[in-house]
């Protein structure tokens, strides 16, 4: 075995890899040898929205915060206060800046450009193949390679987003739109999302939940739907597009196989995308914090974040309802936000509610489709 042996290799310099590097640097591993391998290739997203209450380790990367959100569902517009939550936005360049600032004080941390081709688990060390060369480490955190086996896909989330600059004031800079169902519903539940920077500039996305046995709409079809939404709903017909992001993300309510002997999958590769919402930022922060704490406390990373079984079941039930009756999503969100304070709904989506809270939320939903879906999900 030639070359240095690292304490850990982080395969991938995206959201999950950067977040874990930051938490390791701040969480008692500043004197260890850690290699972060970043292929610097194209990314599906360059900014992440999330809601949170307490301050987080990487909150210096937050570029915008909002105290209100807008919902358009079931023919009604609602502008809802979020307190004690706030909706926050992190841009990738700011996340890179903050994480690099943390690891700058860690002499053993190293960032290398390269492509991770394989991560080979072993009883005492891990062999990570970077551009054809083997790198050895005691632990590896993998966000890039294909898993050997995955839980079945329960749905897919297909989205296309444009950062647009309008010729006239078209956006409310104080209030992001999380769900706007005033768009054609075809082949799955579809809604628009608007993240405003100022009256002229915003990220506008069209997002669609696609059943597992249905082909996701093409990028061209999503772009056409987005252009129609901007023209007919947002009343923004004269604009230029400065950036595009697009992806089709598999959603799985059942847990992924994350753990090897010395390898732990992280990020989307580790099943950290919330199946019922497609959000991942806060779950990745929670997971990174738990991994860093486990390494310090136990000498291994396997005390990682785990979603409760009842929350996975609720995700599975919702996705099964959407599989059979996609139009229900608009009704579900309309009822949830009409009958509950926004912070209770967000705590529920963040898996931070008690069973009593969850029963109160479920009681506001149409019972028949959820009872049918619950019976099917429990029988899996």
Q: Which CATH architecture has domain 155-251?
A: 2-Layer Sandwich (3.30)
Report pLDDT digits (tens) over 89-125.
Answer: 999 999 999 999 999 999 999 999 999 999 999 999 9
Give the C-alpha separation, 35 to 44, whole Å.
Answer: 23
What is the pLDDT at residue 83?
86
Report pLDDT digits (tens) over 326-337.
Answer: 888 888 889 989
Q: pLDDT band at residue 353, thresholds of 50, 70 and 90?
A: confident
Residue entry with tokens 């995955």: 150
The class that CATH gives domain 5-63+88-149+253-298 is alpha beta
Model confidence at 85: pLDDT above 50: yes
Give the C-alpha separation, 116 to 35, whole Å.
Answer: 12
Give the C-alpha separation, 21 to 292, whole Å.
Answer: 9
Domain ranges (residues) in the chain: 5-63+88-149+253-298, 155-251, 309-378
Higher local confidence (pLDDT), 326 or 144? 144
Give the C-alpha separation, 287 to 282, whole Å.
Answer: 9
Give the C-alpha separation, 97 to 184, whole Å.
Answer: 40
Of 180-184, 260-264, 317-321, give the lowest mean pLDDT range: 317-321
């Amino acid at each position: 075995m030639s070359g240095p042996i690292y304490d850990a290799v982080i395969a991938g310099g995206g959201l999950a890899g950067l977040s874990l590097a930051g938490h390791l640097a701040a969480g008692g591993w500043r004197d260890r040898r850690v290699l972060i391998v970043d292929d610097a290739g194209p990314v599906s997203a360059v900014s992440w929205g999330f809601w949170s209450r307490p301050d987080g380790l990487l909150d210096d990367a937050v570029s915008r915060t909002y105290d209100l959100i807008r919902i358009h569902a079931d023919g009604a517009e609602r502008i809802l206060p979020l307190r004690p939550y706030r909706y926050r936005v992190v841009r990738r360049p700011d996340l890179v800046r903050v994480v690099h600032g943390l690891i700058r004080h860690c002499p053993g941390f190293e960032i290398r450009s390269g492509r991770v081709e394989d991560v080979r688990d072993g009883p005492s060390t891990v062999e990570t193949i970077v551009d054809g060369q083997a790198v050895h480490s005691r632990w590896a955190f993998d966000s890039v390679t294909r898993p050997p086996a995955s839980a079945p896909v329960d749905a897919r989330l297909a989205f296309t987003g444009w950062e647009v600059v309008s010729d006239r004031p078209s956006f409310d800079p104080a209030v992001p739109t999380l769900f706007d169902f005033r768009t054609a519903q075809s082949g799955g539940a579809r809604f628009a999302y608007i993240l405003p920077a100022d009256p002229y500039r915003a990220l506008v996305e069209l997002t669609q939940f696609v059943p597992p046995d249905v082909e996701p709409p093409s990028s061209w079809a999503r772009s056409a739907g987005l252009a129609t939404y901007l023209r007919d709903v947002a009343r923004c017909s004269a604009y230029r597009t400065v950036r595009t992001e697009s992806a089709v993300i598999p959603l799985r309510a059942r847990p992924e196989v994350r753990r090897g002997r010395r390898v732990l999958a992280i990020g989307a590769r580790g099943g950290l995308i919330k199946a019922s919402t497609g959000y991942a930022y806060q779950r990745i922060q929670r997971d990174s914090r738990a991994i860093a704490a486990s390494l310090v406390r136990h000498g291994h990373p396997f005390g990682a974040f785990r979603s409760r079984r009842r929350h996975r079941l609720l995700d599975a039930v919702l996705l099964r309802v959407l599989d059979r009756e996609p139009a229900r999503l608009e009704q579900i969100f309309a009822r949830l936000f009409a009958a509950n304070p926004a912070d209770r709904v967000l705590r529920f989506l963040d898996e931070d509610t008690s069973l009593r809270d969850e029963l109160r939320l479920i009681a506001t939903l149409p019972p028949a489709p959820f009872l049918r879906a619950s019976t099917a999900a429990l029988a899996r």
